[in-house]
Structure 1
């Protein structure tokens, strides 16, 4: 059988054991190196290759196993004496015990690390090996040596090195093997009489392998989090910080020891100690703080130790300072005198305080009659608590709840600091009783004929300390105007500070005597009544001329004297123009042969695009009013003239009012 066939056969046999490889924890490794013969020949080694396939079964402990390794190597030495040069090809198989520590004596890292473990190993055993020459049956190319197959034991087989285990369960071995043969004939010389001069093979090698079976449980201390620098003052522990600690695959409890100046807690800060112990499967927060017992700078590491691990150090640092003297002072200037009326809070004033090195909140209390706000005036209170670092304006005002003089101090207190007082003074006065009085004017008896409003008279009122508008109501038969006679109403509402003439007239809508009071009312004030009286008589009929129609004559006179006026941008008929339009409607119904044209006009405000439809609508609303009162629509034409036909200047408000009109002319 050729040496290639023998090697192939051994490899196939080893592959046949693959089910066994997966049955328990084992390592399969391919090794390559350089064979260095230890022989009796003085010469130069040609550095030929040496190869092996090894299977280590960790069936005794995870650190002690048995192994089998088929191998082959070529060795060639060029002797100093040419007759002593040789070339040999060796192949064999070794059985051995292998020691590879996984905890004590090994370096273990986190499972997520690229290299999970670095451990040394040693192996010791023996085996069987053969060798031959290039000519297959000889031992060298020296013709003086007879050809033939030679076999011998390998005893001992020894190996040592370092093994690296990756997170993918692959291995890298760096080692050296030593094989001593029971016969001394690799180098063509035979010192069979002296066993200690037998030939041997020294093989430095590199092995690449894969780990099968049960995953290797690497003991780990896993941490997560970040600790910032601690800071506090003497006598006060610092704010606590935390990080997470987790034990994995540990064989014993975890002991934690804090460096000088620090203490630890494992129950959320209830109990603190210099050192603590947690179980191997601990998975929770570790709290840390400076004790604050003594001033100084502290730094070091929190030690974490557990059996089978290299330990874990967590750095911490911090400063304990001597406590500073707390102060509380007024930043802005003092407050002026407050003043208001009963029921109305005063205008607020503001101030600002400055706090330094306080150890607690600030409590602010206002004296009687005062209140303050910390949110810009949204809410007010007489007492509030603010944090030590408060840095906003404080608004103060008199409540105005009770009349009188008020004074006192707004106090600001905080632990360990003298009270800061901000003096305040103010007065709440009772307001005068609201009233309405007649300021100027006197109303005489009114008189007119039916169908014609009387001449207007005027008066003026004055409101004192009013809190609301003034409602003015005229009695039956009378109407009032507050815009100089442009519009007339029976009831108007004016502001408390109204300061214009009020015009009064009899409407003349029907005959009779009329009297009553023009009432003036406002919340909180007594009603002021101004008496008025007047008479509406039947109109004196003029003597009828021999010819003509008196109804038509009256209509012509009415149309010459009266014009319908409108507010800016509106085409709504005012109440004061309705009696006039009622007379026109009655006349047109009695004169069906008469036709009129209603002409709508605007002032110069706005463009023709706006004013043309507005002027037409003013004419149309008058037409609609007449038709609604029984006039035949065929008697009326309506037209809009925009602002093209003014009757007054558009430079004044009064002129513009005159131009916003609808006038009627008889066209047939």
Structure 2
């Protein structure tokens, strides 16, 4: 009998020891505490939202930066690439905690695309987007190579348009600015277009006042047969891309078609719509939205 009782006694002792893990100091049943598991953040590419658009001598910068130092460094880098004569439109937001851009990589990218008067760079999430007009396939390839070297792990969308009738010699060594009125063609067009292009509501029909201004633009451009025009259309942020991209595309095309109809060679004009991208003012107020609804003509 004593030998038979030994296994039972050992089982009871083991059960008692297990039950003690559920007792507090007062003998009350409680759940055994779970140990905290430390949270570990693995290194990687933080989400970044940044766009930089060149339109002639105007550089528009949109996006988020972590601090004033990063903002100053970015603007100084762009001025170093394009010179102190450029006009900076600063739409940057300071948001502590976001990643600062790699200024060395950005500098290499914009130096590769320095001959493009309408170069646009955008990085959002895991995608880098390149847009603009290049003088040759070599320029387009150089910009793409710089982007791939800087962000090898991100997706790349290269939407750069190559203008086929610009020679390699012109690309390698830009010709001196033409004398007379052509030397100031971009400034003249910018002055004429200082009043916003207007259309019928939600349409692409040019207003009478806009047609009069575009007629003046056409007269100036006809005197400069080597000039190429890139017409870019933009909207405010009302609506979505499904509406804004076709609308801005149609309006840019309407301006381009008007210029061609008034004597500008069709081969010298391209057009594209960008929707609500790259605002030049805040969309929070009506006057800001009005400024963002625009058509820009860039001379190259």
More helix by proportion, 1 or 2?
2
What TM-score, normalized to structure 2? 0.38
More strand by proportion, 1 or 2?
1
Structure exhibiting the larger radius of gyration computed from Cα positions: 1
What TM-score, normalized to structure 1? 0.18
Higher relative contact order (CA 8 A, sep 6+): 2
